[in-house]
Amino acid sequence: MTLSLPSRAAASIVKPLSPRLLTLRDGNAEMRWEAMAGQGFAVPTDRFFVRNHTRSPLLDVGTWRLRLFGTGLRGSPTLDEAVEFDYGDLRAMPAEETAAVLECAGNGRRFFASQQAHPAPGVPWGLGAVGVARWRGVRLSTVLRHAGLTDDAVDVQPEGLDPDFVTGGENLGRVRRPIPIAKALDDVLLAYEMNGETLPVDHGFPVRVVVPGWIGISSIKWVGPIEVSATPLSSPWNTRFYRMFGPDHPVDGRLVTTPVVKSAFELPWDVRVPSGEQVLIAGRSWSGNGPIRRVDISTDDGASWRPADLDPDDEGGVWQRWTTLWRPPRPGRWTLRARATDVTGAGQPDQARPNALGYLFDGVVRHPVTVY
Ligand code: MTE
């Protein structure tokens, strides 16, 4: 039975929110990691996390237009003079499909508080503000060239058609964030399908941006206008939010672009397992720097570590499934830890570096288990 929860989230999110698959957090929905047990490489759409600054808009695909404008296009069209593409135009262009991770920069934020006594404001995500989907669409570079891109363009800023974001009484306008032209011309997709189906409303219907390897805020949903500029662009989403502020960082903060290394067990939080029986424990690790090279597991609160078995199907992929066997020796409270290292040698410290807004938690998470 699928239960839909009547709550703030229900007003903001359109898809059914089964409590077996998703946890509600401040109007957003976090994937439950145990809902990935036995699943394939991609996260099914019914359990894919949703992060909305306001709410999912219901857009009419018949009247929807992608509108490109700005000083980086031939003739410097204004928004009123924008070069327009409709849904059919995009569908008629060469299509591409890519498996990409989407991860909120604040994923794991609650562990700054629970493990490091350093709480940060923002959605108190566990580890489930992440997912891999197969995204299909047209390359942004193809559309930019059709729109008359010039050699002078330096930044591209897609804007969502969801309501303006208002915080502390201040209207910051529509969700938007610049992408440097080199990345925009590289592997960025304007996606209209997710996991082989029409892009769902909550994930950006009719079209969203997908910026592979960059934090989730770059991947603007419900995209409408796209500014292409010959001078650098900025928005509150790259100057005020999604920056690392605090004693370890520059005074004006450090831009957050690349997700860090993380690992999660496909187990309920506080799972109960019988003592003396061998159990197969599964999980996944991922990094914005590139593929995962090794994963180590501790079942004794960090005293000893052993390598996990990596699923060879995922070698070189955007995330890595792994398993390990464990025979809990006796009843009691136990803590599981998983620690991954990626191809660049980046790993997971015991303590993540705190920052004012609680981004990029890369610390080893202590997963509690009760053995009975
Ligand atoms: N795009 C728009 N227009 N509005 C939003 O609120 N949220 C961003 C990004 N794109 C957002 C957006 C953030 S913070 C994240 S993490 C991802 O979308 C989440 O994508 P999802 O809801 O499809 O998982």
CATH number (domain holding residue 79): 3.90.420.10
Pick the atom of ligand 1 nearest to 53's CA: 6
Burial of 297-334, coded b for 16+ CB within 10 Å and e otherwise, reads: bbbeeeeeeeebebeeebeebbbbbbebebebeeeeeb
CA 124 to chain centre: 15
What residue's CA is closest to ligand 1, atom 22? 50
What residue's CA is closest to ligand 1, atom 17? 216
Residue 282 amino acid letter: A
| Separation of CA 86 and ligand 1 centre (Å) | 22
**What are the tens digits of pLDDT across the range 245-275?**
999 899 999 999 999 999 999 999 999 999 9
Picking from 209, 241, 273, the residue at the C-terminal end of a domain is 241
Pick the atom of ligand 1 nearest to 49's CA: 24
Is the Cβ–Cβ distance between 43 and 35 less than 8 Å? Answer: no
226 shares its domain with 271: no
What residue's CA is closest to ligand 1, atom 2? 221
Beta bridge partners of 12: none
231 shares its domain with 310: no
- The beta strands (E) that lie in 221-278 are given as 223-229, 243-244, 254-255, 262-265, 271-273
191 shares its domain with 273: no
Backbone angles phi, psi at 110, to 5 degrees: -65, -20
What residues make up the domain containing 335? 262-371
* Helix H or strand E segment including 193: strand 189-194
Residue 24 CA to residue 50 CA, distance in Å, equals 9
295 shares its domain with 359: yes
What residue's CA is closest to ligand 1, atom 3? 160
Q: Is the CB of 50 under 6 A from ligand 1?
A: yes
Picking from 181, 207, 241, the residue at the C-terminal end of a domain is 241
228 shares its domain with 361: no
Q: Is the CB of 53 under 6 A from ligand 1?
A: yes
Judge residue 139's burial from the number of C-beta atoms within 10 Å of its C-beta, 0-12 exposed, 13-18 middle, 19 or more buried.
buried
Q: Is the CB of 67 under 6 A from ligand 1?
A: no
Residue-level pLDDT at 10:
55
Residue-level pLDDT at 7:
46
Residue-level pLDDT at 11:
74
| Separation of CA 221 and ligand 1 centre (Å) | 6
Picking from 184, 207, 241, the residue at the C-terminal end of a domain is 241
74 shares its domain with 206: yes
Mean pLDDT by 10 residues, the chain (372 residues): 44 94 95 98 98 98 98 98 98 98 98 97 97 98 98 98 97 98 98 98 98 98 98 97 94 96 98 96 98 97 96 98 97 97 98 97 98 97
DSSP symbols for 104-169:
-TTTTTHHHHHTTS---SS----S-SEEEEEEEEEEHHHHHHHTTB-TT--EEEEEE-SPPPEETT
| Separation of CA 276 and ligand 1 centre (Å) | 44
Residue 247 amino acid letter: P
Pick the atom of ligand 1 nearest to 221's CA: 1
Which CATH number fits the domain that encloses residue 338? Answer: 2.60.40.650
Residue 330 lies in a domain: yes
Q: Is the CB of 51 under 6 A from ligand 1?
A: yes
**What are the tens digits of pLDDT across the range 122-162?**
999 999 999 999 999 999 999 999 999 999 999 999 999 99
198 shares its domain with 237: yes
Q: For residue 63, how many other CB atoms are within 10 A of its CB?
A: 8
Residue 5 lies in a domain: no
Is the Cβ–Cβ distance between 311 and 323 less than 8 Å? Answer: yes
Residue 311 CA to residue 146 CA, distance in Å, equals 41
What residue's CA is closest to ligand 1, atom 24? 50
Residue 96 CA to residue 190 CA, distance in Å, equals 10
Residue 215 lies in a domain: yes
Residue-level pLDDT at 8:
46
**What are the tens digits of pLDDT across the range 203-228?**
999 999 999 999 999 999 999 999 99
Pick the atom of ligand 1 nearest to 223's CA: 3
Is the Cβ–Cβ distance between 166 and 322 less than 8 Å? Answer: no
* Cα dihedral 290, 295, 300, 306 in deg (nearest 10): -150
Residue 14 lies in a domain: no
| Separation of CA 308 and ligand 1 centre (Å) | 32
| Separation of CA 27 and ligand 1 centre (Å) | 13
Pick the atom of ligand 1 nearest to 159's CA: 3
275 shares its domain with 327: yes
The percentage of the chain sitting over the pLDDT mark of 90, rounded to a whole number, equals 96
